[in-house]
Chains A and B, each alone.
Chain A
Amino acid sequence: MKTLSSPCAPLQEAPSPAGGRDPRLKVVWTLAFILYALALPDGQWGIFLLSAAGLGGVAMLSGVRWTAMLRRAQGALPFALAAVSTAFIWPGQPWKTFHLGGWTLTVTVEGGIHFLSILCRAWLAAQAIALLGLTTPFSQWLWAFRRLGMPPELVTMLHLMHRYLAVLTDETLRLQRARTARQAAPLPGKRAPGFLWQAQATGHMAGQLFLRSHARAERVYQAMLVRGYRGDWPMPSNRRLTTQDWLLGVLGVAFLLLIEGLVHR
């Protein structure tokens, strides 16, 4: 079950290599870093290691705990398991053969390198997003998105979704508790409610939650109108990109391009 622990987790906002920078700079730089990582060819172990060390260094200097970075990146694990199959189908020199029941599976050298390279690239990308997430509050992400050209309707939707997430999640948990209370202790000699009852009850709960959310949306809109809502979510900020921000951003991207150029030469 999804919990709201992640958005409530403490975020590093104090001035640091990643913490105090302009959110626009951080979003653009993270995207550039992920594209750089994805473009690295297979088997560049030294470059993978150097890139990971660079990210780890920035995280450490920014006061981000490595355990928090690991926890946020765990969503990639099932896909890493799925990618194992590529080691068996990638054409190349046979390396090792496994006998599983009636099956004979051969891992090729190139397949193994390709699989490990996928893991390295995915790891670098996941750590970059984790670092951005742990050093940037959600409101700053939205501020950056708006300034980078995201349509105002979408930004307003994201703001409102974030604001009412905890309210509706709480309501969902109350509905689930009520369902559990009604099915937890069946009468003696009677069976617990079956699959169809549970499915129907779940659907009705979803329907009820929809109606409550719909009614709440109307009240929220009226309250927003009273406060002067004119179609755009106000995001006052006097933040400006400093010369230091520009310099850091340009130098960082130039460094990534340089490595990429050297690797592909």
Chain B
Amino acid sequence: MVFSALLSPHRMHIPDGFLSIHVALLLWAVSAAFLALALRQSRKTLGERQVPLMGIMAAFIFAAQMFNFPIPGGTSGHLLGGVLAAILLGPWGGMLTMTAVIMVQGILFQDGGLVSMGANLFNMGILTTLIGTAIYRLGAHRSQHVKILLAGGAAWLSVVGAALAASLELWLSGTVALAVVVPAMVGVHAVIGIGEAIITVAALSFVQRTRPDLLEDTAPQSVARGWIAAGLLLSLGVILLAPLASTNPDGLERVAHNLGFLNREAPPPVHLLSDYTLPWLSHTPWSTILAGVIGVAVVTTLAFGIAKALRRTA
């Protein structure tokens, strides 16, 4: 499979030419809005002392990305660093730090393009820090054990989320087939994410043992709830946009149609939101949107349930 070439997290840096102008510019606008917000919040909450700290922390994240170790299955564990940066420096500081890392990688090493840098910033800098903050703060005012476990989960999810976002952007640009890119990218990064999770957990455990003051969460409960709400809103945003993207069949469906075995698939034993639609609303965009909202609600309930169970056992 050609997608085995996309094995390393560095292969998430999309070069110019593979995203359409519309997708690239839209993601630049979204990333610029998030960065403006991050700068505004940083000016309000952090002093000028934090600017050199974030610059050197950006060099730290870059250097820490060099750490790797073999993972069974032929790939290696790497650090992307978004969740680690968000936990150690706060969401806004983490976002700015990851921005510096991605910009230097793009300019000095030509890892990723200039016009597509907005997409790279969104996937690896903004999405990962948002996921990290939202999940880590689910364990606000709980034991460090629970928090570090949540950080590990967030680290894995951030890698998979960034890979999924990159896949969707490439598909929306008409560069790759959705049925090929999503399983390939998400499948590979689900394994790579294990490395991210283990390194994040071990690094935070080390910091917790030696400098626990650096991990103290000073954000009030209302702020933590705000971040969880922001994470959910982001998921809902993706759902609302998804059905408007394309009405054409994806690549695998087209191949199946060409070969005449589209109708030969065995029916599933239970129909739950079949084809991402609700049966009483037929195949309309609203049906897909509502099915997505139900999906997010189910996943959120499950996540809260797991977090509650972890709190009880901690």
Q: Which residues of A contact B (CB under 8 A)?
A: 1-2, 6-7, 30-31, 34-35, 37-39, 72-73, 75-79, 81-86, 88-90, 103-106, 114, 118-119, 121-126, 129-130, 133, 138, 141, 151, 153-154, 156-162, 164-165, 167-169, 171-173, 175-176, 195, 198-211, 213-214, 216-218, 220-221, 224, 229-231
For A203, list chain B residues within 8 Å (CB): 198-203, 205-206
From the candidates A82, A83, A162, A201, name the one contacting B104 in the complex (CB within 8 A): A162
For A154, list chain B residues within 8 Å (CB): 35, 39, 96, 99-100
For A172, list chain B residues within 8 Å (CB): 63-64, 66-67
Residue ID in chain B nearest A216 by CB atoms: B56
Q: How far is the CA of A86 from the CA of B248 in the complex (A)?
A: 14
For A231, list chain B residues within 8 Å (CB): 48, 51
Q: How far is the CA of A195 from the CA of B201 in the complex (A)?
A: 15
Q: For the complex, is B229 an interface residue (Cβ under 8 Å from A)?
A: no
- Decide yes or no: A199 and B204 within 8 Å by CB, A153-B51, A171-B63 being known contacts: no
Residue from B97, B180, B214 with most neighbouring chain A CB atoms (10 Å): B180
For A81, list chain B residues within 8 Å (CB): 2-3, 5
Q: How far is the CA of A161 from the CA of B258 in the complex (A)?
A: 53
Residue ID in chain A nearest B40 by CB atoms: A151
Q: For the complex, is B74 an interface residue (Cβ under 8 Å from A)?
A: no
- Decide yes or no: A158 and B176 within 8 Å by CB, A31-B115, A125-B16, A200-B202 being known contacts: no
15 A-B contact pairs sorted by A residue (CB < 8 Å)? A34-B114, A75-B110, A78-B6, A82-B5, A82-B170, A89-B250, A106-B258, A141-B107, A160-B58, A195-B69, A202-B202, A207-B207, A208-B206, A209-B63, A211-B210
Select the stretch in B7-15, B134-142, B275-283 that faces chain A.
Answer: B7-15
Select the stretch in B18-26, B125-133, B290-298 that faces chain A.
Answer: B18-26
Is there an interface contact between B16 and A129, defined as CB atoms closer than 8 Å? yes
Is there an interface contact between A6 and B109, defined as CB atoms closer than 8 Å? yes
From the candidates A118, A133, A175, name the one contacting B18 in the complex (CB within 8 A): A118
Q: For the complex, is B103 an interface residue (Cβ under 8 Å from A)?
A: yes
0/1 interface trace, chain B 168-180, chain A, CB 8 Å (1 if under): 0010001111001
Residue ID in chain A nearest B259 by CB atoms: A104
Q: For the complex, is B269 an interface residue (Cβ under 8 Å from A)?
A: no
From the candidates A30, A88, A207, name the one contacting B204 in the complex (CB within 8 A): A207
**What 8 A-B pairs come out closest when comparing CB atoms?**
A203-B202, A122-B17, A160-B55, A207-B206, A125-B16, A78-B5, A89-B251, A213-B60
For A86, list chain B residues within 8 Å (CB): 174-177
Is there an interface contact between B174 and A114, defined as CB atoms closer than 8 Å? yes
Is there an interface contact between A168 and B63, defined as CB atoms closer than 8 Å? yes
For A89, list chain B residues within 8 Å (CB): 177, 250-251, 254-255
Q: Which residues of B contact A (CB under 8 A)?
A: 2-3, 5-6, 10-11, 13-18, 20-21, 24, 35, 39, 42-43, 48-49, 51-60, 62-72, 77, 79, 84, 88, 96-97, 99-101, 103-104, 107-115, 170, 174-177, 180-181, 195, 198-207, 210-211, 214, 250-251, 254-255, 258-259
Nearest Cβ in chain B — how far from A57, in angstroms? 21
Is there an interface contact between B20 and A38, defined as CB atoms closer than 8 Å? yes
For B170, list chain A residues within 8 Å (CB): 79, 82
For B17, list chain A residues within 8 Å (CB): 37-38, 76, 118-119, 121-126
* Given A84-B2, A141-B107, A202-B202: 15 more A-B contacts, CB < 8 Å: A7-B109, A38-B17, A82-B181, A85-B180, A125-B115, A126-B16, A159-B55, A160-B59, A161-B104, A164-B55, A203-B199, A206-B79, A208-B206, A211-B210, A230-B48
For A206, list chain B residues within 8 Å (CB): 64, 67, 79, 84, 199, 202-203, 206
Is there an interface contact between B21 and A38, defined as CB atoms closer than 8 Å? yes
Nearest Cβ in chain B — how far from A238, in angstroms? 24
